[in-house]
Amino acid sequence: MKFRNIPLLTALAIAGMAPLAASAQAADAGFPLQPLADKPGRIVLPGTQHEVYYVPSTVDTIQWGYLPNAATKPVLSVPSGATIVFDTLSHEGMVEDQGRDPVKYFGSKGIPTNMVLKDAIAITGSNMAHDFAKDGPHIVTGPVEIQGAEPGDVLKVELLSAVPRVPYGVVSNRHGKGALPGEFPETPKPLANASAANPEAYHNVSVFTPIRRGKDGKWEGVMKTKDGTEVIFPTAPFMGTMGVAAATTAKVHSVPPGLHGGNMDINDLGVGTTVYFPVLVKGANFYTGDPHMVQGDGEVALTALEHSMRPTFRITLLKKGDKAIPSSSGSLGRPMGETPDHWVTIGLNPDLDEAMKDAVRESIRFLTEVLGMDRATAYAYLSAASEFQVSQVVDGTKGVHGMIRKSDFINVTSKKR
């Protein structure tokens, strides 16, 4: 995908939303990226003359542990094609097994108070209810109404930028969760008196993980061996949670993904990619959260490198029947992704085998409806030339996504132009 709005991307860089200059001191490098405003609306990017829509994370603009549904009122309304900047928060350092006190928690890791995000402090210091045992952990920001959106339409969501707000993140493993529940964490079971006031009693394990600029100028994560030797790994920021309001008035838990999107945790859908979401309620009501600095396929410990981010999206409404929608019906029944090099089909099911089948069926649908293959040939092509990756196995509803190479279909797509 090529960006058409070069002046805007330049403005994002000036405003601190693109990669920052390397520095020995995080504050000198521009950290932390504190909120740009206390309410949603149009703002002028700092140091520029460019206006964008902006949504901060506040007690009035987030849901903690749940996703928007048909009854949720939008915090902002924007036209199709709008550019929207969100200030999103990682739940790590905010949840009860870490004391629901980010200043104290990150202070125990050597982070001074002025390097802790003000919005995280405000939310955890509020009386906002959150039940660690029952609610999802995620801070979900939004939703934003897309004017004119109706059920049957599709949202085209492009992630233009995703920039870390602080120079640190956390990877957590909690009892009863992850790919090896009962085996990890290798600590005693939680005690009955575990609470935000007594977080140590949960006996969960969280690994504090700094990030820094490498010699090539790219962000890298840093962990250490038992003797203190550094283990350095590349990062690839993306939003773990993106989606539209579900067509129900029942509460929608933030952990399992679904046909509305939500906590899909697909690491291939980072900066420069697009996700197509079916509109399920009037206005669509787009939201995002669960920002990740990097995640391996499977997300086996339970979390990725959770990391507060400032993502920038361009959201375009595709009315039902628009030829840009990747289907022959003129609509979609589930999310679908697109990268510069691949089409990304998504399978979801509590059973990993069934999630795999779901992804294969969706891939066959796409190849037959959009690229003109017959079903038998599509199935053979997928077996010979496509990859199916485990998105995550830790969110109740497991995910598998297919990666279909665009270059294989250059002769087909050139005919469609």
Residue-wise pLDDT for 303-322, tens only, equals 999 999 999 999 999 999 99
Structure tokens at 126: 């509020």
> Rounded to an integer, what distance in angstroms lies between the CA atom of residue 354 and that of residue 119?
40
What number is the average pLDDT over the span 82-90? 98
pLDDT for residue 8? 56
Contacts of the segment 184-187: beta carbons below 8 A, 24+ positions apart: 184/301
If you average pLDDT over every residue of the chain, what do you get? 94
pLDDT for residue 279? 98
pLDDT for residue 26? 58
Q: Is the pLDDT of residue 325 over 50?
A: yes
Backbone angle region of 355, left / alpha / beta, with phi > 0 → left and psi within -120 to 50 → alpha: alpha
CA distances from 143 to 40, 98, 262, 327 (A): 11, 27, 12, 26
Residue-wise pLDDT for 10-68, tens only, equals 455 445 444 333 334 455 468 999 999 999 999 998 888 889 999 999 999 999 999 99
Name the percent of the chain lying above pLDDT 90.
90
What number is the average pLDDT over the span 127-156? 98
| Res. 270 pLDDT band, cuts 50 70 90 | very high
Cβ atoms of 164 and 307 closer than 8 Å: yes
Q: Which domains does the chain have, with CATH numbers?
A: 36-318 (2.60.120.580), 347-414 (3.10.28.20)
Name the percent of the chain lying above pLDDT 70.
93
What number is the average pLDDT over the span 239-254? 98
| Res. 397 pLDDT band, cuts 50 70 90 | very high
Range in 19-23, 83-87, 334-338, 355-359 with the lowest mean pLDDT: 19-23
The enclosing H or E element of 363 equals helix 352-369
Cis peptide before 32 (omega within 30 of 0): yes
Q: Euclidean distance between the first and final Cα of the chain, in Å?
A: 16
Range in 8-17, 277-286, 340-349, 359-368 with the lowest mean pLDDT: 8-17
| Res. 191 pLDDT band, cuts 50 70 90 | very high
Please report, to the nearest 10 degrees, the dihedral formed by the alpha carbons of residues 304, 307, 310, 316 taken in order: 10
Per-residue 3-state assignment (H helix, E strand, C coil) for 95-106:
CHHHCCCHHHHH
Cβ atoms of 207 and 170 closer than 8 Å: yes
Residue-wise pLDDT for 99-121, tens only, equals 999 999 999 999 999 999 999 99
User: Can you say whether the dihedral through the CA atoms of 145, 71, 58, 208 is positive or negative?
Assistant: negative
Residue reference for tokens 């339409």: 153
> Rounded to an integer, what distance in angstroms lies between the CA atom of residue 314 and that of residue 18?
16
- Nearest 5°: the CA angle 162, 24, 239 is 15
Closest by Cα among 356, 344, 357 to 405: 344
Cβ atoms of 67 and 140 closer than 8 Å: yes
Q: What are phi and psi of 316, to 5 degrees?
A: -120, 135
pLDDT for residue 129? 97
What number is the average pLDDT over the span 321-337? 97
pLDDT for residue 13? 47
**pTM for this prediction:** 0.93
Cβ atoms of 330 and 320 closer than 8 Å: yes
> Rounded to an integer, what distance in angstroms lies between the CA atom of residue 310 and that of residue 162?
6
Rg (CA), the chain: 21
Residue-wise pLDDT for 142-186, tens only, equals 999 999 999 999 999 999 999 999 999 999 999 999 999 999 999
Q: Is the pLDDT of residue 7 over 70?
A: no
| Res. 1 pLDDT band, cuts 50 70 90 | very low
